[in-house]
Amino acid sequence: MMPLPTPAYGEEPATPPEAPRLARSPRQGRLALALSAGAFLMAAAALATALDRSLPPVVSPAAAVMPTPLPADAPLPLIGIELLLPHLPRTAPFPRAFALALAFAAGDAEAAALLAPLHAVAPHGAPSARQLADSFGEAAEAALLAEMGLAPDAGWLARRAAATMRLGASLGSNGTPALAAVQATAAALATGDLAAAEAALEGLPPAPTTALRPWREGLQRRLAADAAARQLAALALHRVAAR
């Protein structure tokens, strides 16, 4: 192989010639155009199919509590109720949806009265029935320790004593008022009867009542949210049917 000539001093090196570009055949151009058109048609078909489907699961709770769609000229309180209802079965706070519902219900005494119990629910949300059942064991233990005059952090031995008392009551032994109440509450929670669970805790002495307060506040928020969901849905359905 012969060596390439070396450029003289001050002379720019020669630029190698560019490789010849291959010309695209007409067949390749038509193929690319056909593929682009096919992709466009498939995207259009997918969009049409999606538009024909039912609403996604995120809005299904609204259809469950208020299956009749609101008319286009529905009054503002009904629109506010429809926006709020999907949030009530959930556990997350819903301050914005609640504020909208209150604003839309301004001047409607009936709707405003049904929304009023949610003032305590919207900023915090409400635990689910499952969450309440799962967290009740710790609350019940605190109530029994309070009845014995002990703090929740009284130690391992005191907590084991409270757990043994609950076990004995579940097997039919007689117990203290707090023990009977927490056992009745646990039985109601096992069947999903939240109203009975709340009723079983009425009339407890002050110490167990104080120990149970954080857990009961969550229970009361769930009861308020469920009651509001039923009553607001019934109000909306009644007004839609009367139009």
Total residues found in the chain within this entry: 243
> What's residue 145's pLDDT?
83
Helix count (H) and strand count (E) of the chain?
10, 0
Nearest alpha-carbon partner for 224 in 63, 104, 98, 46: 98
> What's residue 178's pLDDT?
84
Our measurement of the distance from residue 24's CA atom to the centroid of its chain's CA atoms, rounded to an integer in Å, reads 56
What CA–CA distance (Å, rounded) separates 110 from 228? 12
pLDDT tens for each residue of 114-165: 999 999 999 999 999 999 999 998 898 888 888 877 655 555 555 655 555 5
What CA–CA distance (Å, rounded) separates 23 from 61? 60
In this structure, the number of other CB atoms found within 10 A of the CB of residue 63 comes to 14
pLDDT tens for each residue of 169-200: 554 445 678 888 888 999 999 999 999 999 99
> What's residue 141's pLDDT?
84
pTM comes to 0.65
Report the half-sphere exposure of 120 (CA within 13 A, side-chain side). 11
Residues 144, 208 contacting (CB under 8 angstroms): yes
pLDDT tens for each residue of 27-55: 555 655 555 655 655 555 554 454 444 43
pLDDT tens for each residue of 69-118: 555 556 888 989 999 999 999 999 999 999 999 999 998 999 999 999 99
- In angstroms, the Cα distances linking 239 to 33, 65, 80, 111, 169 are 56, 15, 14, 11, 50
What CA–CA distance (Å, rounded) separates 48 from 58? 21
Classified as helix, coil or strand, 123 is coil
Q: Which two tokens stand for residue 48?
A: 């049409």
Q: What is the H or E stretch that residue 165 is in?
A: helix 156-170
Q: At 141, phi and psi to the nearest 5?
A: -60, -40
Q: Is the pLDDT of residue 229 over 60?
A: yes
Task: Grade residue 26 by pLDDT with cuts at 50, 70 and 90.
Answer: low
32's CB contacts (< 8 A; 6+ apart) are: none
What CA–CA distance (Å, rounded) separates 109 from 241? 19
Alpha helices by DSSP H, listed for 3-150, are 26-52, 60-65, 76-84, 95-104, 109-115, 129-147
